[in-house]
């Protein structure tokens, strides 16, 4: 199913995070892991994108989705996963992740993203009216504005 235009900004951020997971997984499989560099990158992505993304989902998407009985359980699971992922981001900030911790991070984040895309978003598109999705989209534009500003202000390295 095509993604509703109101959820596309979140899906684009999901693609960015999945790309990180793929790159990190490949490095782990190759045994070429600079732990400090990877954890610094994870920390930076969290601070500049994921923290805002999680907050927007928790403020706008999850409450709207919970109004539908068929989405209540998946939203509860996603909230719990946000808590677990935040703890992993703290571990990366503290440079406390070893190879197993980085592998667990890749698995947890990619599983979480796929659950949002395949279960939450797909079902939202089936049960919500176009007006409800539009309201969520407008709210997300405001909430995600900070991510756009950070990305546009970054200078090339």
What structural domains and CATH numbers belong to the chain? 8-148 (1.20.120.520)
Q: Rounded to an integer, what distance in angstroms lies between the CA atom of residue 12 and that of residue 37? A: 24
Q: What is the mean pLDDT of residues 96-119?
A: 97
Read off the pLDDT band of 150 (50, 70, 90).
very low
Cα 72–chain centre separation: 19
Q: What is the mean pLDDT of residues 21-44?
A: 95
Q: Rounded to an integer, what distance in angstroms lies between the CA atom of residue 10 and that of residue 99? A: 28
Residue 67 has pLDDT above 50, yes or no: yes
pLDDT above 90 covers what percent of the chain? 89
Residue 152 has pLDDT above 90, yes or no: no
pTM over 0.85: yes
Which residues contact residue 141 at a Cβ distance below 8 angstroms, ignoring those fewer than 6 apart?
9
The mean pLDDT value of the chain amounts to 93
Read off the pLDDT band of 9 (50, 70, 90).
very high
Read off the pLDDT band of 146 (50, 70, 90).
low
Q: Let me know how long the chain is.
A: 157
Residue 39: predicted pLDDT? 97
Residue 2: burial class (beta carbons within 10 Å; 0-12, 13-18, 19+) = exposed
């Amino acid at each position: 199913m095509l993604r509703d235009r109101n959820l596309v900004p979140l899906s684009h951020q999901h693609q960015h995070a999945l790309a990180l997971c793929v790159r990190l997984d490949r490095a782990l499989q190759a045994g070429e892991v600079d732990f400090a560099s990877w954890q610094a990158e994870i920390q930076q992505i969290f601070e500049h994108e994921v923290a805002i993304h999680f907050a927007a989902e928790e403020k706008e998407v999850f409450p709207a989705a919970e109004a539908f009985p068929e989405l209540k359980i998946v939203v509860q699971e996603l909230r719990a996963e946000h808590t677990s992922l935040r703890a992993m981001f703290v571990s990366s900030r503290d440079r406390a992740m070893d190879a197993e911790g980085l592998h667990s991070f890749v698995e947890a984040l990619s599983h979480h993203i796929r659950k949002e895309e395949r279960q939450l978003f797909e079902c939202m598109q089936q049960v919500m009216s176009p007006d409800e999705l539009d309201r969520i989209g407008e709210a997300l534009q405001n909430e995600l504005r900070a991510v756009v500003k950070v990305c546009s202000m970054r200078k090339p390295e």
